[in-house]
Amino acid sequence: MAGVGKTTLAKALYNQLLLGGSFKESCFLVNCREVCQTTQGLASLQQKLLNDILTSKNPVKVDNVDKGIKWIRARLLYTKVLVAIDDLDHRKQFEYLVGPFASGSVVIITTRDEEMLDKIGVEPRYRYRVYELDDDKSLTLFNHHAFGNAVPNSSFMVMTKEILGRAGGLPLALEVFGSYLYTRPEVGWKSFVKKLQQIPDSTIQQRLLICLDALESDDPMLKEIFLDIACFLVGLGMRSVVELLKTYYSDVDYKIGILKKRCLLTVDDSNKLRMHDLLLDMGRDVSRNNSPKQPEKHSRLWAVEDIHDVLKKHKGTEVIECIIPCDIEQGDSLNRVPFKISTETFKRMVNLRFLFLTDVDIIGSFEQTFEDLRWLLWDECPLTEFPSDFYPQKLVSLALPESKMRTMWGLNKVFENLKDLDMSHSCDLTATPDFTRLPCLETLKLMNCKSLEEVHISVGTLGKLVCLSLPGCVKLKRLPHTLCNLSALKVLDINICESLEALPVELGNIKSLEEFIASGLSSVSILPDSIGRLSNLVMLSLRENGNLETLPDTICNLSALKVLNIDNCTGLRALPKELGKMESLKHLSMSGLNLSEIPNSIGNLHELVVLLLSDNENLRNLPHSICSLRSLEALYISGCKKLDILPENFGDLTKSEELYDEYAWIKYCESGYYSNYFKPMPLFYAGMRELYSETEPCCIII
């Protein structure tokens, strides 16, 4: 039975076994039944299983089930694992997810169908049937959600008894009913009980529907947001969901918070939205408008076959509000089968607000089309430019990844509501548009637009632009000087813009900038002195800029900087002497340089937590001031082949827990705390508390 608490119990058992310390490799696969209904569902579960257990820096990509089976059997062979498979409903799901694990492995399964356990050979002694809660436990759970820590008034007891009877001992119903009634007056309770009594022979889903309908009376948008999430947003990250929904709704974070308090959805440890199957099915049933076989009458389309049916057969109606496949994460909205759709189909969808398409060619006049559209994700758009009559003036977010666009558009119309524009991986794009037509743009993403040669000078007029992302634009030779006028810009990413010859001289005028990613700029040899004026900069990445010869002394004025990465800047021979002025620095990565010494001022970085100096082959010693780094927790010096002496007061690094030295031979410490403990041996991992060696047993040195 759904809603009885199988998943909750499985999670509790899973967590208890993890705490026992017997399992290093584990994975919990949630909502198996629901996930497997999507195009790449089972393959995505296999992918999660492999990545969670292997914990590799290079995650595997499972394109199909057969590959997943092969990898599970090969790479998880004889691995001791703890795996939970929630809501199993088909034998093949088990066969494709469970491999030849090692002895001692534990697989936890929840299912609605006990016959499923017979099919996969689970012995009766390993089964546990979850029953409904008894009256006492039902009362305790309900009171917790309905009254919190307050003592319930006796006047509510008769109504409470009636509600418990209607909930049937199902934890989900008790939680939802109780959360709905929390802080409501007695008259609200009476109204709720009356509605329950009017459907005496109903299923639990129909009873839960009362709470959903109540959302509409509290705030009509609450119900709509719930339905949107139920139909196609479960399993997506919270941030992505909020970004999508806020294109149409206001106060999205607040409204999602209300749904959480009503126990209508949850957010898991990975910050992804989850919803109980009963609630999800209820939301989708409502969206079908009592017409399960007629998708053109559904307010939301999420099943690929329904989307195909409506679009290919030109069945668009005014009822349809959203077209987003439930497997949006896999990007398989229409099975990657290209076809053409007439704009007449969309003209009839006058209330369409969210639309996701993949490799679809829309033909015909765009006049009076998409008039209420707020969010458009058109993957692999075949158009080379938008026609002049394309004008969805309410559009807030436009994403055209992997499009065939060359010049985006030469439209004379102003898109005053557009906030987010993503043209990433559009390899034919050579130039950006006149941004005066997009006055409210907040996010501009042009990742891997490999033919892009220039950014229009009007970009400087975008007073609301917060994020400009240009990584992988390998033909981009210069940034317009007007870029320095962006008063709201917080993130600037020009990673691997290999042809970029120089940075704007007045870069420091972007006072709002917090993150600057300028790695892999093989043609840049100097940084502008003005960089020191970026007073709000928190993260700066300059790694792998091989031609960078010096860092300007002004860089030491970045008092808010917390992360600095200059790894593999092989042209650098020295660092600014006043490096220690960056008093907020917590993470400093300087691996793979040609340094012979570290500035003595480094000892002034009292907030520094991580220091990476690996592969500095010419580094012979560390400054004594390094022992003043009172917050340092990790020091990496692997590959510093000429480093053979540690400073005299190295033992003063009392907070440090890691000294990672994979290749170097530490010959001795000058007289001091560690002088009696270090000896000539290759260290694999050495911490201030424990010393590990590939060839020597562990020894505790406190």
pLDDT tens-place string over residues 198-243: 776 667 888 888 888 888 888 989 999 999 999 989 888 899 899 9
More confident residue, 701 or 658: 658
CB atoms within 10 A of CB 694: 10
What per-residue confidence (pLDDT) applies to 129? 86
CB atoms within 10 A of CB 209: 18
Q: How far apart are CA 456 and CA 40, in angstroms?
A: 40
Which of these, 526, 571, 586, 524, lies nearest to 551 by C-alpha position?
526
What per-residue confidence (pLDDT) applies to 652? 64
Which of these, 122, 125, 83, lies nearest to 100 by C-alpha position?
83
Q: Each residue of 161-179: pLDDT tens digit?
A: 888 988 888 888 889 999 9
Q: How far apart are CA 658 and CA 349, in angstroms?
A: 61
Alpha-carbon separation of residue 240 from 30, 243, 244, 273, 441 (angstroms): 20, 5, 6, 10, 18
User: How large is the C-alpha radius of gyration of the chain?
Assistant: 30
Alpha-carbon separation of residue 470 from 262, 394, 476 (angstroms): 42, 26, 9
CB atoms within 10 A of CB 135: 11
Domain boundaries, the chain: 6-126, 135-287
Which of these, 232, 212, 230, lies nearest to 222 by C-alpha position?
212
Q: Of all helices (H) and strands (E), which one includes residue 323?
A: strand 322-323
Amino acid 83 reads V
Q: Which long-range contacts (CB under 8 A, 24 or more apart) does 571-576 make?
A: 571/525, 571/545, 571/546, 571/547, 572/548, 573/549, 574/550, 575/551, 575/599, 576/551, 576/552
Percentage of the chain beyond pLDDT 70 is 89
Query: What phi and psi, each to the nearest 5 degrees, are found at residue 564?
Result: -130, 125
What per-residue confidence (pLDDT) applies to 200? 64
Lowest mean pLDDT among 323-337, 412-426, 641-655: 323-337
Q: Is the dihedral of CA 579, 582, 583, 587 positive or negative?
A: negative
Tokens of 118: 């017979």
What per-residue confidence (pLDDT) applies to 245? 94
Lowest mean pLDDT among 15-24, 340-349, 543-552, 655-664: 655-664
Alpha-carbon separation of residue 355 from 292, 302, 390, 409, 426 (angstroms): 21, 11, 15, 20, 20
**Average pLDDT value for residue range 602-621:** 92
Q: Report the helix count and the strand count for the chain, using DSSP H and E.
A: 17, 28
Q: How far apart are CA 690 and CA 54, in angstroms?
A: 26
Collapse the DSSP code of 588 into the 3-class scheme (helix H, G, I; strand E, B; otherwise coil) and give the result: strand
Residues 252 and 273 sit within 8 Å (Cβ to Cβ): no
Q: Each residue of 381-415: pLDDT tens digit?
A: 999 988 888 999 999 999 999 999 998 766 678 99
Q: How far apart are CA 548 and CA 570, in angstroms?
A: 8
What per-residue confidence (pLDDT) applies to 655? 57
Residues 529 and 506 sit within 8 Å (Cβ to Cβ): no
Lowest mean pLDDT among 70-84, 343-357, 429-443: 70-84
Q: What is the DSSP string of 113-170?
A: -HHHHHHTT--GGG--PPPPP-HHHHHHHHHHHHHTTSPPPGGGHHHHHHHHHHHTT-
What per-residue confidence (pLDDT) applies to 118? 87
Residues 80 and 25 sit within 8 Å (Cβ to Cβ): yes
Which of these, 204, 150, 205, lies nearest to 181 by C-alpha position?
150
